């Protein structure tokens, strides 16, 4: 388990990423998200979606369906595939998917308790892929949010190491992509923790068998552009294992 002191170097905050993404989600996007379940219950989905976007406040009643169902459906969208429905294509589709994924992850720590239902790994994969493609750089805010998730004590009650691995991998990707300063020691510690997990438990083949393999592949491709010349050996090896072992 990583120390809070190390994670504090990423300035953990719960809402800044979702708030920043929400600023790029207009009413027509929310309307499209609300229609994702063949249009069923669209009006009942739309109200909570607006509240999440505008206030970062999550409903406490009927949340199991409204708006969780449409958030999850858009989470699975493929903006690069014009034939895929529900969801939109291109950058618009990535804004919508990023909003839905960030909402689902943030909602894990609300009454929704998403750990048991929504699937952390695919949500993280889809979020990372969309963040790497939208025309605004959110890596620092993303690293802050992932660090916040890792500091949250409720995370560890699930005792699912794979979920922690995904969060650590996401934090490494976002912090390295953004070239954050003053986090080298923390990134090395996270890389070591991830390596120990891979050695102690099952091989991280869950990436290869994941429903979101294409999203992980997009993330791995982004790693080719990282400048790792001044990074620690632990971090270099961690990124190389993720990038080359699974997608080389």
Residue 203 has pLDDT above 60, yes or no: no
What pLDDT sits at residue 117?
52
Q: Rounded to whole angstroms, how far apart are CA atoms 47 and 234? A: 46
First to last CA, the chain: 29
Q: Which of 47-51, 75-79, 200-204, 226-230 has the lowest mean pLDDT?
A: 200-204
Reported as a pLDDT band with limits 50, 70 and 90, residue 152 is confident
> Quick one: angle between helices 161-177 and 184-200, nearest 10?
150
Higher pLDDT, residue 120 or 44: 44
Q: Is the peptide bond before 191 cis (omega within 30 degrees of 0)?
A: no
What pLDDT sits at residue 64?
73
Instruction: Report pLDDT digits (tens) over 92-131.
Output: 999 999 999 999 999 988 876 644 456 788 999 999 999 9
Q: Rounded to whole angstroms, how far apart are CA atoms 58 and 74? A: 18
**What pTM did the predictor assign?**
0.92
Higher pLDDT, residue 246 or 234: 234
What pLDDT sits at residue 115?
46
Instruction: Report pLDDT digits (tens) over 47-80.
Output: 999 999 999 999 887 777 899 999 999 999 999 9
What pLDDT sits at residue 116?
47
Residue 27 has pLDDT above 90, yes or no: yes
Residue 178 has pLDDT above 60, yes or no: yes
Q: Rounded to whole angstroms, how far apart are CA atoms 217 and 242? A: 10
What pLDDT sits at residue 101?
97
Mean pLDDT value across the chain: 88
Question: In this structure, how many other beta carbons lie within 10 angstroms of the beta carbon of residue 37?
Answer: 17
* Per-residue H/E/C for the chain: CCCHHHHHHHCCCCCHHHHHHHCCCCHHHHHHHHCCCCCCCHHHHHHHHHHHHHHCCCCCCCCCCCCHHHHHHHHCCCCCCCCCCCCCCHHHHHHHHHHHHHHHHHHCCCCCCHHHCCCHHHHHHHHHHHHCCCCCCCHHHHHHHHHHHHHCHHHHHCCCHHHHHHHHHHHHHHHHHCCCCCCHHHHHHHHHHHHHHHHHCCCCCHHHHCCCHHHHHHHHHHHHHCCCCCCCHHHHHHHHHHHHHHHC
What pLDDT sits at residue 211?
78
What pLDDT sits at residue 110?
81
In this prediction, residues 131-156 reach a mean pLDDT of 89
Q: Which residue has the tokens 């809070």?
A: 4
Reported as a pLDDT band with limits 50, 70 and 90, residue 161 is confident
CB of 110 within 8 A of CB of 18? no
């Amino acid at each position: 388990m990583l120390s809070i002191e190390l994670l504090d170097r990423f300035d953990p905050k719960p809402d800044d990423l979702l708030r920043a993404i929400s600023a790029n989600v207009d009413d027509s996007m929310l309307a499209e998200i609300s229609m994702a379940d063949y249009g069923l219950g669209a009006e009942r989905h739309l109200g909570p979606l607006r509240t999440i976007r505008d206030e970062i406040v999550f409903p406490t009643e009927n949340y199991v369906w409204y708006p969780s169902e449409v958030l999850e459906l858009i989470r699975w969208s493929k903006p690069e595939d014009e034939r895929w429905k529900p969801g939109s294509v291109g950058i618009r589709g990535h804004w919508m998917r990023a909003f839905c994924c960030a909402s689902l992850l943030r909602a894990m720590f609300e009454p929704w308790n998403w750990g048991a239902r929504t699937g952390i790994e695919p949500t993280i994969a889809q979020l990372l892929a969309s963040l790497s493609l939208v025309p605004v750089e959110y890596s620092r805010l993303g690293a802050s949010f992932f660090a916040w998730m890792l500091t949250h004590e409720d995370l560890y009650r699930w005792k699912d190491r794979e979920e922690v691995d995904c969060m650590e991998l996401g934090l490494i990707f976002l912090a390295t992509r953004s070239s954050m300063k003053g986090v080298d020691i923390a990134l090395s510690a996270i890389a070591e923790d991830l390596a120990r997990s891979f050695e102690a438990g099952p091989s991280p083949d869950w990436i290869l068998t994941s429903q979101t393999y294409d999203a992980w592949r997009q993330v791995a491709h982004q790693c080719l552009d990282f400048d790792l010349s001044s990074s620690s050996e632990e971090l270099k090896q961690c990124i190389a294992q993720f990038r080359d072992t699974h997608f080389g």
